[in-house]
A and B are shown apart, each in its own frame.
Chain A
């Protein structure tokens, strides 16, 4: 029993997450019934695959390399313990006992049967979850800072805004058939943990000189085969104008976005081809001309939504826990975990814990159903029953008392969830690649595993410091390789898997697209190449420089030179 035991400390405690209203619940339930009928008609043969495909994609169901894949939305990455347990139950009953957490803060099941998917969606609906708009040319799951509401550097919790946008974008009739998929991310902090600069629309909560809270709006970022860093279209949009302004952007994109070529259909191409000034002009003209009354801002409604994300009933604690200090010294492995995976919390005496889903040699983002249940239990015992999924494919426990970190660590360690590598070189983002994905041209998971094993020594990883490696198994860049400090892109070259290395990518406010440093290498060569890059960085870095800082100071040419020397004029690297 702990102070966080809901049966003791917080009977009938408020949730810290959004709850469906009657409309939400009825809508999701109706969609499940509708899809059940569509599946029935497909299986009996009255719908062809061409007719059925858009229906299944609207419900997050893909056909992949070995089986169907169901993508479940986790709005802005927030989960309750009850929801996490349901995800585990579904994994056991309808899948193969595990789930894969993605860079969109979603969860994917890799083995569902078409015949079972209506039952899965019904099971999800019972806990206020669904798979709507996790596919298709619509506004996808809105993502947000995984430290929302607890980060000390936060200007404002972005979750109410993200929920506001979720409600606006869900089943939006005008934006259900956009030229291409559309992704929105929100951050409310001084440091961008939501990668807003590489989204179709990125929102940064800011306060203007008048003290009014609003949004910096960034447009046209994105990865894929044509990566771009987004551009500011407006430095400040008031909260009252937010929905109308986003509506104006989407209308301009819907009207002028290219539908003749799917590879040029994203808003980033529109911004690139027309220029941000012309796009801004069109958006402002639309914004000025449109009937904004239908988007009139109701502060009471925003406050109603925001109330769902009210801080949980924290205890009054001292800022620094003596117990934590003593346990960290007495148990070095725990001390390492605290140093690496535990982040400051805005409330004294609490901490934010990143649970790495990147065990050494493991599959990035995968969690077994048993691990999901351990995390659900831990969130209730140590943190008000709330969890977050990060776009880095990890799980966050956002409200842990410092005094209870040791007990939490023991719980996590017993479940294989205590790898102390958050943000380090083995905390690798990886898409499923050709092990699962029908679009992939090469595998990415085995490459991540090989690098992870090469750098398995956690003390060595700590000496290297924060260093993001991101791997994609095809040009669509689901593994965000373009914004990895070290990016790896799997391609096919002459019938073989080949890997292209990029350096200098950055997903934060100082966003940058990585630069290619040499010809493609084989999978076997990748760990050596990464090691050469890391060794060069360690030799060159000054004081506490991060990899990106060293890269920017030293420059592309010298990094490329060191690889060329290792690889005989780059021939082998």
Chain B
């Protein structure tokens, strides 16, 4: 087991509608709180490998790992502001994106 500096989750975009999705326990989730969390390099590698297979299967595009911190409730929150925005939607239109559905 090789520790990561920060835990990671896998981001992607759904092929058909472009919405940001996260790899969860049983497939792609639209709520980052349900994302599977990699805590070591082996886990992150497994997420990445699954993501590549999903790209090959033409279900998602633009797959990458992002660093997160884990809250008291166990939910991951991205560390970087770019991904913080992706889990919500545009900061200037709170009526749009995932935040409009209360998912983030």
Contact surface of A with B, Cβ cutoff 8 Å: 42-43, 45, 48-49, 63-68, 96, 111-115, 363, 434-436, 443, 445-446, 449, 495-497
* Residue in A68, A96, A434, A495 whose beta carbon sits within 8 Å of that of B18 in the complex: A68
Q: Is the CB of A63 within 8 A of B91?
A: no
| Chain A: minimal CB distance from B62 (Å) | 6
Q: Given A49-B55, A114-B17, A434–B92 Cβ distance below 8 Å?
A: no
Which residues on B sit within 8 Å (CB–CB) of A446? Answer: 91-92
19 A-B pairs in the complex with CB atoms less than 8 angstroms apart: A48-B58, A49-B15, A49-B58, A65-B86, A66-B18, A67-B13, A68-B18, A114-B15, A114-B18, A115-B16, A363-B93, A434-B82, A435-B85, A445-B90, A445-B92, A446-B91, A446-B92, A449-B92, A495-B80
Kindly report which residue of chain A lies nearest to residue B91, judged by CB atoms. A435
Please give 5 more A-B residue pairs, beta carbons under 8 A apart, in addition to A66-B18, A435-B90, A495-B80.
A49-B58, A67-B13, A68-B17, A443-B92, A446-B91
What sequence of 0s and 1s flags, for each residue 29-73 of chain B, a beta carbon within 8 Å of any chain A beta carbon? 000000000000000000000000001111001100000000000
Asked whether, in the complex, the Cβ of A66 is within 8 Å of the Cβ of B58, the reply is no
Asked whether A363 lies within 8 Å of B18 as measured between CB atoms, the reply is no
Contact A436 B90 (CB under 8 A): yes
Q: Does residue B10 face the partner (Cβ distance < 8 Å to A)?
A: no
Which residues of the other chain, B, contact A449 by a CB distance below 8 angstroms? 92
Q: Give Cα distance in the complex from A68 to B18, angstroms.
A: 5
Instruction: Give the docked Cα–Cα distance between A64 and B89 (Å).
Output: 12
Q: Once bound together, how far apart are the Cα atoms of A63 and B16, in whole Å?
A: 11
Q: In the complex, which residue of chain A has the Cβ closest to the Cβ of B17? A: A113
Residues of B within 8 A of A111 (CB): 96
Do A63 and B92 have beta carbons less than 8 Å apart?
no
Inter-subunit contact A443/B15 (CB<8 Å): no
Known contacts A49-B61, A68-B18, A113-B18; is A63 also within 8 Å of B13 by CB? yes
**Cα–Cα, bound, A111→B56 (Å):** 24
Smallest Cβ-Cβ distance to B95: which chain A residue: A96
Complex Cα distance A495/B17, Å? Answer: 30
Q: Nearest-CB distance from B28 to chain A (Å)? A: 15
Bound together, the chains give a CA A448 to CA B18 distance in angstroms of 27
A449–B56 alpha-carbon span in the complex (Å): 42
CB of A483 to closest CB in B, whole Å:
24
Task: Say whether B76 faces chain A, with CB atoms less than 8 Å apart.
Answer: no
A66 touching B19, Cβ below 8 Å: yes
Which of B19, B58, B89, B90 sits near A45, CB closer than 8 Å?
Answer: B58
Residues of A within 8 A of B56 (CB): 48
Of B79, B81, B90, which one neighbours A66 at CB under 8 angstroms?
Answer: B90
Q: 3 tightest A-B contacts by CB?
A: A435-B90, A68-B18, A45-B58
Contact of A42 with B92 at beta-carbon distance under 8 Å, contacts A63-B61, A65-B86, A434-B82 already known? no
Query: Is B20 an interface residue when CB atoms closer than 8 A count as contact?
Result: yes
Evaluate contact between B18 and A63: CB separation under 8 angstroms.
Answer: yes
Q: Which B residues are in CB contact (< 8 Å) with A115?
A: 16-17
Is B97 on the interface with A (CB-CB < 8 A)?
Answer: yes
Looking at B15, B17, B18, B20, which has the most chain A CB atoms within 10 Å of its CB?
B18
Nearest Cβ on chain B to A486's Cβ, whole angstroms = 21
* Contact across chains for A67 and B17 when beta carbons are under 8 A apart: yes
B16 to chain A, nearest CB (A): 5
Smallest CB separation, A520 vs chain B (Å): 15
CB distance from B75 to the nearest CB of A (A): 20
Contact assessment for A42 and B15 in the assembled complex, using a CB-CB cutoff below 8 Å: yes
Contact indicator A66/B97 (Cβ below 8 Å):
yes
A435 in complex: contacting residue of B15, B80, B92, CB < 8 Å: B92
Give A251 Cβ to nearest chain B Cβ, in Å.
35
Inside 8 A of B20's CB, which chain A residues have their CB?
A: 65-66
Q: A113 near B90 (CB under 8 angstroms)?
A: no
Cα distance A63–B89 when bound, in Å?
15
**In the complex, what distance in Å separates the CA atom of A434 from the CA atom of B92?**
10
Question: How far, in Å, is B84 (CB) from chain A's closest CB?
Answer: 10
The answer to whether A43 and B15 have CB atoms under 8 Å apart is yes
Contact B58 A42 (CB under 8 A): yes
User: Given contacts A49-B61, A113-B17, A497-B81, are A66 and B86 in contact (CB under 8 A)?
Assistant: yes
Complex: chain B residue closest to A496, CB-CB: B81
Q: How far is the CB of A41 from chain B (nearest CB, A)?
A: 10
Q: Which chain B residues border A63 with CB–CB below 8 Å?
A: 13, 18, 61-62
- Contact: B18 with A45, CB < 8 Å? no
Name the distance in Å between B73's Cβ and chain A's nearest Cβ: 24
CA distance A43 to B55 in the complex (A): 12
* C-alpha gap A435/B88 in the complex (Å): 10
CB distance from A101 to the nearest CB of B (A): 16
Do A443 and B55 contact each other (CB < 8 Å), given the known contacts A49-B61, A68-B18, A114-B15?
no
Known interface pairs A63-B13, A66-B19. Does A45 touch B92 (Cβ–Cβ under 8 Å)? no
Question: CA–CA, A435 to B89, complex, Å?
Answer: 7
User: A113–B86 Cα gap in the complex (Å)?
Assistant: 17
For A66, list chain B residues within 8 Å (CB): 18-20, 86, 89-90, 96-97
Contact B92 A363 (CB under 8 A): yes
Quick one: which of B18, B19, B62, B91 contacts A443, CB cutoff 8 A? B91
